[in-house]
Amino acid sequence: MWWSEPEAEIPVLTRGPADLLVPILEGLGLSPSSGLWTDAAHTLGVARSPAGLFVGWLDVGWLTADEPFTEMRDITHLVERPSPEPLAHELGIALAEAARSRVEHLRGCDRCDERFVPGQMFGAACCHSCAVRDGDACG
């Protein structure tokens, strides 16, 4: 539990018996998923830490060809505020900026005409799904 840790290690807005940040995150349409708070489409994420909140858009990284992982890009750091209202406002702005940045980074697949985050692309103009489906290097 957060409150059983030393005071310096307690994340943003969790001092005391209630976690004041949860209703803010939920109010912005986020829910916990694999250590992050993400939107329903898993396109935006918020990471909590003793240093504050880290907000960004979610990309795909690859440990191996068969092992994807979630990677946060274009991160904004938000520090703790004395009351939840200013932080909620700043968090809303940071999420909107992350959403715009994500759209700017989307790449098009020439085969399926869909747009993807960079980590879902197999090559410059071919998505991972098309490359796997067609069994080639999308060359």
pLDDT 10s digits, 26-75: 999 999 998 999 999 999 999 998 888 999 999 999 898 788 999 999 99
72 and 120 fall within a common domain = no
92 and 117 fall within a common domain = no
53 CB burial (10 A radius; 0-12, 13-18, 19+): buried
Q: What is the pLDDT of residue 53?
A: 93
Pure H helices in the chain: 21-27, 84-105, 128-134
Q: Which residue has the higher pLDDT, 14 or 89?
A: 89
44 and 61 fall within a common domain = yes
129 and 82 fall within a common domain = no
87 and 131 fall within a common domain = no
63 and 110 fall within a common domain = no
Q: What is the pLDDT of residue 23?
A: 92
For residues 74 and 69, what is the distance between their CA atoms, to the nearest angstrom?
17
> Which runs of E-coded beta strand occur in 13-127?
31-33, 36-38, 44-49, 52-64, 67-78, 107-108, 115-116, 121-123, 126-127
Q: Which residue has the higher pLDDT, 84 or 102?
A: 102
> Has residue 118 got a pLDDT over 50?
yes
Number of separate domains in the chain: 2
44 and 92 fall within a common domain = yes
> Has residue 117 got a pLDDT over 50?
yes
110 and 86 fall within a common domain = no
Q: What is the pLDDT of residue 109?
A: 96
pLDDT 10s digits, 87-111: 899 999 999 999 999 999 999 999 9
114 and 98 fall within a common domain = no
Confidence of residue 1 (pLDDT cuts 50, 70, 90): very low
The boundaries of the domain holding residue 19 are 2-105
